[in-house]
Amino acid sequence: MNIRFVITILLGLIVLGCENQSNTPLSGRVQGMSMAPGFQDGDVISWQRGEENSFSRYAPVVCQFKEELIIKRVIGLPEESVRITDGELFINGEIIRKSPQLLKQFGLMIDDQADSWRDSTHSWIRTNNRWSCNHISSKHTSWLKFSPESSRGVLHNEDGLRVYDDVSWLTEETRLLNSVQDIGISVVLDIQLQEGNDLEIFVKNNKHVARVVVRRQGQLAVIAGRLDGQFVVAAWPILRGSEAGKIYDDQNKYVRSELPKVWSARLNVPNKKTLAHKTPALAVGIKILRGQGKLISNEPCMVKAESVFVWRDIYWLSTPNKTEWNVPENHIFILGDCPAASRDSRQWGSVPFGAIQGTVLRDPFFQKFPAWLSHN
């Protein structure tokens, strides 16, 4: 057993004395990078034993494996089949799909630098780490395109860019060069819009484009991209301070200003191999939407892209000899969040309930997505 776990556990028992220890939270330090980037080497975590059969999918748990305590994530439940194909997870033959909250938990930031974007329509101006568009046209779309000179998780070659399975948080970076298809854009827009005008917002991922129509000014968050075999999009207003929770639409109906529980729209997309030379076409665009065929106000509208970045999902890896596993009764199938650095149920098989020491009380704060994606 890892000595750092032993010391922490013993100290906890001494302090608590003779109280019921079966439900007492225990603490320890993470050793290794198999759950990176969310759980880093040296992070302190706490876990608590619950009902033996109450494990939920995606919950991080502490398990007893041989002489060690390990932290992994629950993926497969009893009597399910788990399959890994082209980086995707399938349960009982169906791809498992993430909600916006789960994307926040699993999504990995590829690039959040303003200088990784290019003004392809001569409409945007970069100031520090943000972009501004002061003269928005009703005749053409003002586009910002992702075109980084150097970016973690993007491989440059003579034919363009390639988003790949990067684990650059490891001590020695491992680049498996598996083309990642589940990528997208997240952006926060500060919109100054004259009354009577509407604004169209476009988020493009290769041939798929999400369109959001805005009818009032304020701050808006948008997520769009390919995720788990679908093209997904979500948009919601952001309010801070005293204004939080006080936004209404044109019909005076309350609008929630937080990360949605479900996607606003979803479209099934084919799972095709990404060619090594293919450049991912990622872009954000804005355009004034004319009312009744004409611009209602000649007053200028302005949009600031306060936070724009490219994200990707975890690329799950099978083993050279096996891609599918059946979970027995009273067992769970566990995986590490960093498949390239993890040994887990792919190698060992499913883990019995009795080996589970408890569920991690909460994921540590790790800014895989900016803080604005948290509930207000």
Residue 138 lies in a domain: yes
pLDDT exceeds 80 at position 292: no
Domain residue limits at 270: 108-312
CATH number of domain containing 78: 2.10.109.10
Q: What is the pLDDT of residue 5?
A: 41
Cβ neighbours of residue 191 closer than 8 Å, sequence gap 6 or more: 199, 214, 217, 218, 219, 220, 301, 302, 303
In this structure, are 156 and 56 located in the same domain? no
57 and 38 in one domain? Answer: yes
Same domain, 161 and 306: yes
H and E: helices and strands count for the chain = 3, 27
Mean pLDDT confidence for 141-167: 75
Query: Residue 103 falls within a domain, yes or no?
Result: no
Tell whether the torsion through CA atoms of 96, 204, 337 and 357 is positive or negative. negative
Q: Are residues 184 and 216 in the same domain?
A: yes
Q: In terms of domains, do 123 and 30 share one?
A: no
Tokens of 361: 């009380």
> Can you name the residues that pair with 6 across neighbouring β-strands?
none
Residue in this structure with the two tokens 């975590």, named with its chain if needed = 45
Give pLDDT tens digits for 326-354.
Answer: 999 999 999 999 888 899 999 999 999 99
Please check whether residues 282 and 355 belong to one and the same domain: no
Rounded distance between C-alpha atoms, residue 199 and residue 193, angstroms: 8
Position 252 confidence tier, pLDDT thresholds 50, 70, 90: very low
Cα–Cα dist 209/188, whole Å: 17
Is 288 inside any structural domain? yes
Which tokens in the block code for residue 43?
A: 């992070």
The DSSP secondary structure of 340-352, one letter per residue, reads GG--SHHHH--EE
Contact 42, 30 (CB under 8 A): yes
If one counts the domains in the chain, the total is 2
Pair 29, 87 in one domain: yes
Q: What angle do CA 38, 43, 45 make, to 5 degrees?
A: 90
Task: Judge residue 226's burial from the number of C-beta atoms within 10 Å of its C-beta, 0-12 exposed, 13-18 middle, 19 or more buried.
Answer: buried
The answer on 148 and 248 residing in a single domain is yes
pLDDT digits (tens, 9 = 90+) for 195-208: 778 899 999 988 89
pLDDT digits (tens, 9 = 90+) for 164-190: 776 655 555 555 667 888 999 999 999
Query: How many angstroms separate the CA atoms of 123 and 287, rounded?
Result: 11
Residue 101, in any domain of the structure: no
Q: What is the pLDDT of residues 92-135, one digit of tens each?
A: 999 999 999 889 888 888 888 888 899 989 999 998 889 999 88
Q: Say if residues 213 and 198 touch (Cβ distance below 8 Å).
A: yes
Whether residue 253 is found in the same domain as residue 350: no
Residue 215 banded pLDDT, cuts 50, 70, 90:
confident
Answer whether residue 11 shows pLDDT above 70.
no
Whether residues 124 and 253 fall in one domain = yes
C-alpha span between 104 and 186 (Å, rounded): 11
> Does residue 313 register a pLDDT over 80?
yes
Tell me, yes or no, whether 169 and 295 share the same domain. yes
